[in-house]
């Protein structure tokens, strides 16, 4: 399980609560509205079908690198999920994304990212002030992390560098690696901080999750223990965290309703986690290396081999001295968070063209976030294609409003060409509203007509999509307005939510 050992990611997700092996799914569901659960389940099925193709890069969706039974287990869990089983809050889309996964077309976007103007040069400068950042290269991470720390210069067999996460307010970073096993991918993290790591981990776990089962709130019993530990001649401390919940047999009635012949989903009743923690000068380090989950059916154990830890720790060096590891993730050319002009230079290399990045749009809209990632699009006859796009979100400056504009850019013209040829846009929908293990056999095609208009002598296709987010619908907004066009073999698409003013004037500004 990717990042199974990575508590810094849990912190980024406001201390994500693990319940079962499907914890990541339950985290997402807790933050969706109930009528969006079906859409999330469909996304799971769509992505799992994508990676089943031999030519597909399975490193992209690591959390889908599972067998048929596990996919079925996740879908059944989604179908039975009830709000309130966890107390969670949303994470910035890295992850990932990174964990990758992840978007709903009509989901609301947070407004906690601000645009900082910088001094004007020949090219206008910008930067996004985000408290939580993710990087695909060590060099880019060091542009933001304001303390010196060491990283491994050697990795065990089958390991590779994944990502670096940085949480500025906590002075905390996580250098993540992945180990590719026969049928799964395991995350290994080295946490670094200029603050007391033991204190941080205890505070994080002390605010441990409650469980709500059959309307009964169950708080965990939490215990900490510390003992000396030595790995690769590094003197440190082993911190053990134990959590258990008093769940009764009668609490399982809801779970049993969804049992199948092979699959039983049960709440976790006990978790034991272990961390190796040490100091080097003023910097704290930690490796979460052990996790054991127990439920009524048994237990599952994840543990990083001690020999692997020794190899990582025996080669720790400052970044300037690294010689044997290229700290650039495999998906460097597929995922990129945009934080400043420097990232736009990398974006140009990934996309194959210079992206449009206006700092102001008519009506007072400014960019609040931007990233590059893979998207899945459905063409006619349910043909599924994957393309790399840059997505930039615009909102009204210094205003908390529902109005939002999304700009998408890609040099893959297949969606646009398909719409031109057929006169409609294709969407997938499912004949059976209940997500189950066989739902992928019930896929149907929904055709939405497009209207062709001319803006600045450019043919622009316009269409509408239904909004499914009830928070937006409650404000009287039921549809998005979408415009798509092609310029110089690059396809641009805008999506408008709410009263954004003269949409065609905004499209005109983007075309110019």
Residue 470 pLDDT grade (very low, low, confident, very high; cuts 50, 70, 90): confident
Residue 450 pLDDT grade (very low, low, confident, very high; cuts 50, 70, 90): very high
3-state helix, strand, coil in the chain (%, to 5): 25, 35, 40
Residue 444 pLDDT grade (very low, low, confident, very high; cuts 50, 70, 90): low
Residue 333 pLDDT grade (very low, low, confident, very high; cuts 50, 70, 90): confident
Give the C-alpha distances (Å, rounded to integers) separating 307 from 135, 231, 304, 313, 326.
Answer: 27, 9, 9, 10, 22
Q: Which residue has the higher pLDDT, 54 or 35?
A: 35
Q: Do 33 and 39 contact (CB within 8 A), yes or no?
A: no
Half-sphere exposure of residue 454: CA atoms within 13 angstroms, side-chain side: 2
Residue from 357, 336, 242 nearest 291 by CA:
242
**Per DSSP, what are the bridge partners of residue 293?**
271, 300
Q: Please report the beta strands in 330-450, taking only residues with DSSP state E, as ranges in sequence order.
A: 336-337, 365-378, 384-396, 404-410, 424-430, 443-449
Helical packing angle, 23-30 and 68-80, nearest 10°: 30
Residue 7 is predicted with a pLDDT of 54
Burial of 450 (0-12, 13-18, 19+ CB in 10 A): buried
Q: What is the pLDDT of residues 87-146, one digit of tens each?
A: 333 333 333 333 344 334 444 444 445 555 444 334 578 888 888 999 999 999 999 999
CA distance 260 to 95: 32
Q: What is the pLDDT of residues 2-18, one digit of tens each?
A: 455 555 544 444 334 33
Residue 85 is predicted with a pLDDT of 41
Residue 124 is predicted with a pLDDT of 78
Residue 425 is predicted with a pLDDT of 87
Residue 82 pLDDT grade (very low, low, confident, very high; cuts 50, 70, 90): very low
CA distance 316 to 325: 11
Half-sphere exposure of residue 36: CA atoms within 13 angstroms, side-chain side: 24
Question: Which sequence spans correspond to the domains of the chain?
Answer: 7-92+130-330, 338-511
CB atoms near residue 217 (< 10 Å): 9
Mean pLDDT, residues 56-69: 37
Alpha helices in 181-271 (DSSP H): 197-206, 253-256
Q: Which of these ranges, 30-44, 257-271, 438-452, has the smallest mean pLDDT?
A: 30-44
- Give CATH for domain 338-511: 3.40.1000
* Total residues found in the chain within this entry: 512
Give the C-alpha distances (Å, rounded to integers) separating 256 from 22, 73, 250, 252, 482.
Answer: 17, 13, 10, 6, 44
Q: Which residue has the higher pLDDT, 282 or 478?
A: 282
- Read out DSSP for 99-118? T-----TT-------EEEE-
Q: Do 187 and 160 contact (CB within 8 A), yes or no?
A: no
Joined together, the tokens standing for residue 31 give 């933050």
């Amino acid at each position: 399980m990717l990042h199974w050992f990575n508590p810094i990611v849990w912190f980024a997700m406001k201390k994500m609560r693990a319940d079962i092996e499907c914890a990541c799914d339950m985290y997402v569901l807790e933050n969706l509205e109930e009528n969006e659960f079906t859409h999330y389940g469909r996304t799971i099925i769509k992505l799992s079908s994508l990676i089943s193709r031999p030519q597909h890069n399975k490193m992209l969706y690591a959390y889908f690198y599972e067998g048929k039974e596990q996919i079925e287990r996740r879908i059944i869990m989604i179908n039975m999920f009830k709000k309130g089983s966890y107390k969670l809050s949303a994470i910035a889309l890295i992850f990932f994304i990174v964990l990758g996964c992840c978007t709903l077309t009509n989901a609301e976007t947070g407004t906690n990212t601000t645009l900082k103007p910088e001094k004007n040069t020949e090219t206008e400068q910008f930067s996004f002030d985000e408290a939580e950042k993710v990087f695909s290269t060590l060099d880019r991470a060091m542009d933001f992390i304001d303390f010196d720390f060491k990283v491994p210069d050697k990795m065990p067999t089958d390991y590779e560098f994944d990502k670096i996460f940085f949480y500025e307010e906590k002075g905390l970073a996580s250098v993540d690696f992945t180990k590719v096993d026969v049928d799964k991918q395991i995350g290994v993290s080295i946490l670094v901080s200029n603050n007391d790591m033991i204190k941080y981990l205890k505070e994080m776990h002390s605010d441990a999750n409650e469980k709500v089962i059959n309307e009964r709130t169950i708080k965990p019993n939490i215990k900490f223990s510390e003992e000396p530990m030595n790995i690769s001649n590094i003197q440190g401390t082993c911190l053990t965290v134990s959590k258990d919940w008093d769940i009764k047999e009668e609490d399982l009635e809801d779970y049993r309703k969804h049992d199948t012949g092979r699959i039983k989903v049960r709440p976790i009743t006990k978790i034991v986690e272990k961390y190796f923690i040490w100091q080097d000068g003023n910097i704290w380090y930690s490796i979460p290396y052990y996790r054991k989950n127990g439920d009524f059916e048994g237990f599952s154990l994840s543990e990083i081999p001690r020999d692997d830890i020794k190899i990582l720790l025996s080669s720790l060096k400052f970044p300037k001295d690294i010689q044997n590891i290229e700290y650039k993730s495999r998906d460097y050319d597929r995922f990129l968070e945009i934080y400043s002009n420097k990232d736009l230079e990398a974006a140009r290399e990934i996309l194959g063209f210079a992206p449009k990045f206006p700092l102001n749009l008519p009506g007072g809209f400014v960019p609040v976030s931007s990233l590059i990632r893979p998207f899945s699009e459905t063409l006619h006859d349910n043909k599924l294609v994957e393309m790399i796009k840059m997505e930039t979100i615009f909102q009204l400056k210094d205003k908390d409003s529902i109005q939002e504009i999304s700009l998408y850019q890609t040099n893959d013209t297949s969606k646009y060409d398909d719409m031109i040829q057929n006169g409609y846009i294709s969407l997938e929908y499912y004949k059976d509203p209940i997500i189950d293990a066989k739902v992928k056999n019930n896929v149907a095609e929904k055709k939405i007509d497009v209207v062709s208009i001319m803006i600045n002598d450019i043919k622009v296709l316009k269409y509408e999509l239904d909004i499914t987010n009830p928070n937006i619908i409650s404000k009287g907004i039921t549809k998005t307005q979408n415009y798509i066009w092609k310029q110089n073999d690059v396809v641009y698409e805008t999506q408008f939510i709410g009263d954004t003013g003269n949409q065609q004037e905004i499209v005109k500004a983007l075309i110019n």
